[in-house]
Amino acid sequence: MNRERTLELPFYLGNNRAMISLGPLSPKKYCTYSCPFCYVHSGFLKYVNLDLEDIKSWLTNNKGKYDIIYISGDTDSFAKPRTQKALDLLESLIAFNVDVLFTTRYVFNEDELLRIKKINEQLSRKGRILFGCVSIAQLSFNHLEPKPIKPPLERIKQLKRFKELGLCSVLAMRPFLPIVPKEEYSEIINLSIGSFDILLGESWYADKDGVLEKQVFKTQPNYKIEFKESPMDFDNNQNIWKVWEGEEIRKFVCKKSEEMGFPFFMRSRPAIEWYRNKKRN
Ligand code: SF4
């Protein structure tokens, strides 16, 4: 059974990271977007909806327990209508003097990118890194990233802009999904090569009631795959999840990363450490 998050622990704190967000968009909807594979639709512990001052107080009270802050988790904080608020939050994190990572499917306009550039410059002056992750799960399976998410090609362009602005630009090809053929992952990489510093993949976590499977396989209702079962190691919910590790895709992308010479990780922590070491050296 899930337990509710509390004001003492409104977000995720663990593995030396604090993972925060703006919380659910409304009592009925977690996120502006409705990706059918997303665990927030089934069983994930909602983050608490706090105002910026309370988020900062929580981070201050827990200082020393994390070396990086993620704006990620249970909602796309940067999606409209909360883009400006999420940028305010991002800006306020400069004061915490740690690395910062944010994840989004939103495509920023030039004014917003300029703001991100300034935030990155201030973090850089402190010797800190801003990781900008752009999530892309498909090229031709539109139902997996439905409108108002902008098309994958626009998000690929954003990776390039992140790199030009000096961020660590991260292509988050997440999660790996069984209905997307490996040739399509290959195409995403070919279109993005030179625009990202790191590529991330991820297992797909589906609920045991089959809600997410039904949504993902809606165009192929007889689709059947084998799942493993495990809890999540990046959240405190106590559910057992059906996990599809996408082993064949992982191996395929791994081979491509060796051939083309880009760093590829399934988890963000080793990716962060790799980039920190690269900067140091
Ligand atoms: S944008 Fe992220 S949080 Fe929102 S529905 Fe999609 S995967 Fe879930």
Q: pLDDT tens for residues 62-86?
A: 999 999 999 998 899 999 999 999 9
Neighbours of 193 (CB within 10 A): 14
C-alpha 135 to ligand 1 mean position (Å): 9
Among residues 58, 60, 61, 86, the alpha carbon closest in space to that of 72 is found at 86
pLDDT of residue 221: 85
What number does the ligand 1 atom closest to the CA of 75 have?
Answer: 3
The pTM is what?
0.96
Tokens 């993005």 -> residue: 192
pLDDT of residue 3: 52
pLDDT of residue 2: 42
C-alpha 145 to ligand 1 mean position (Å): 9
Tokens 């900062």 -> residue: 56
Tokens 């919380």 -> residue: 23
Spans in the chain with pLDDT lower than 70: 1-4
C-alpha 37 to ligand 1 mean position (Å): 8
pLDDT of residue 149: 98
Q: pLDDT digit string (tens) for 91-119?
A: 999 999 999 999 999 999 999 999 999 99
pLDDT of residue 44: 83
Ligand 1 pocket test, pick from 31, 77, 234 with the greatest ligand atom count within 8 Å of Cβ, gives: 31
CB of 188 closer than 8 Å to CB of 139: yes
Angle ∠(228,250,34) on CA atoms, nearest 5: 70
SS3 of residue 29 by DSSP: coil
d(CA 20, CA 225): 33
pLDDT of residue 1: 36
What domains can you pick out in the chain, each with its CATH number?
12-280 (3.80.30.30)
